[in-house]
Amino acid sequence: MIDELDSKIIKLMKTVNERTLSRMNEPYQVATKTHFNDLVTSVDKENEQYIDDYLRRVDPDCQILSEEGLGTRDIKDVAGHVWIVDPIDGTLNFVKQRNYFGIMLALYIDGQPTLGYIMDSKNSRLYHGGPGRGVYVDDQKIEAPGNLDLRDGLIAISSPLILENEYHLPAVAESASGLRMYGSAAMEMIGMITGELVGYVSHLKPWDLAAGRAMAEELGLVVKSIDGTTPDVLSSNLVLIATRQASQDIAKIIG
Ligand code: IPD
Ligand code: CA
Ligand code: CA
């Protein structure tokens, strides 16, 4: 059942990405949500509708938590199959840079990460996997990243956290080899999975974290809320993803 769903979702992710890349070259609508730089486009909404419709066909009893609210936005519990959908992650990049955005989808069963998918859209590379399944980029297995310490690697921290000097995060950045800000949780999660980053700190909504968490944990990375607890699947969390060593290094700085 899960293997069959997995094969179907891999095809879905590729189809949605092809649609996204072709829609980029046609006119689309852009609207603001909570703030002038919090954008949603008609492509986000079309993707979400396509994904939600597909999930309802292949997994009829599931619950769907999708960012733009076309699925069931306010699901009450994590019982059974819960699909968590980010139809375009990095919408600001999609609009302004036309690069560095992705599509994310995850299946949690009874609250446990089961399958995660992150499409690196411009490169048409699909990262997928989950607990006990391994993690792959397309058909190629990804080895677990080395357990590097903070000073030997790059860290991504979302810009508001640095600008507002929260949790001594500028000091964390100074202790790393370098600071990176990709503007897309999807791209930053890929950075963690591939070992390009040793840490990533950001306020993440359920659809920003779900897919990356399913893969990062399988690769032995630490995924936790900044207070050390396990992130809640249905809430926004201030999240740290890191190698085990970098997570200890960061904990010493943020106290
Ligand atoms: C956003 C991006 C951004 C992160 C925000 C997310 P969206 O997702 O991943 O990097 O810092 O917290 O909301 O809105 O483009 O899907
Ligand atoms: Ca989004
Ligand atoms: Ca997002």
Q: Is 129 helix (H, G, I), strand (E, B) or coil?
A: strand
With a 6 A CB cut-off, is 87 part of the ligand 1 pocket? no
Of 9, 136, 158, 137, nearest to 90 (Cα)? 158
Measured distance CA(221)–CA(23) in Å, rounded: 35
Hey, what CATH topology would domain 2-141 get?
Answer: Fructose-1,6-Bisphosphatase; Chain A, domain 1 (3.30.540)
Q: Is 77 helix (H, G, I), strand (E, B) or coil?
A: coil
Of 181, 228, 227, 230, nearest to 209 (Cα)? 230
With a 6 A CB cut-off, is 17 part of the ligand 1 pocket? no
Same fold, 2-141 and 150-254: no
Ligand 1 atom closest to 88 (CA): 16
Centre of ligand 1 from the C-alpha of residue 183, in Å: 7
Q: CB under 8 Å to 74, separation ≥6 — which residues?
A: none
Please give the C-alpha separations between residue 5 and each of 47, 107, 108, 132, 139, in angstroms, as whole numbers. Answer: 19, 10, 13, 16, 17
Q: Supply φ then ψ for residue 186, to 5 degrees.
A: -60, -50
* CB-count exposure of residue 71 (10 Å: 0-12, 13-18, 19+): buried
Domain extents in the chain: 2-141, 150-254
With a 6 A CB cut-off, is 89 part of the ligand 1 pocket? yes
Ligand 1 atom closest to 202 (CA): 11
Please give the pLDDT value at position 75.
82
Query: For atom 16 of ligand 1, which residue has the closest CA?
Result: 89
Of 161, 240, 155, nearest to 198 (Cα)? 155
Check if the beta carbon of residue 95 is closer than 8 Å to that of residue 41: yes
With a 6 A CB cut-off, is 203 part of the ligand 1 pocket? yes
Among 208, 235, 240, which is best to mutate for testing ligand 1, by the most ligand atoms less than 8 A from CB? 208
Centre of ligand 3 from the C-alpha of residue 103, in Å: 9
* CB-count exposure of residue 11 (10 Å: 0-12, 13-18, 19+): exposed
Measured distance CA(20)–CA(87) in Å, rounded: 10
With a 6 A CB cut-off, is 93 part of the ligand 1 pocket? no
Per-residue confidence of the chain (255 residues) as pLDDT tens digits? 899 999 999 999 999 999 999 999 999 999 999 999 889 999 999 999 999 999 999 999 999 999 998 656 668 799 999 999 999 999 999 999 999 999 999 999 999 999 999 999 999 999 999 999 999 999 999 999 999 999 999 999 999 999 999 899 999 999 999 999 999 999 999 999 999 999 999 999 999 999 999 999 999 999 999 999 999 999 999 999 999 999 999 999 998
Residue with tokens 């503007």: 183
Whole-structure pTM over 0.85, yes or no?
yes
Instruction: Enter the CATH code of domain 150-254.
Output: 3.40.190.80
Surrounding residues of ion ligand 3, Cβ less than 5 A: 86, 89, 208
With a 6 A CB cut-off, is 224 part of the ligand 1 pocket? no
End-to-end distance of the chain based on CA atoms, in angstroms? Answer: 44
Please give the pLDDT value at position 73.
60
Q: Is 215 helix (H, G, I), strand (E, B) or coil?
A: helix
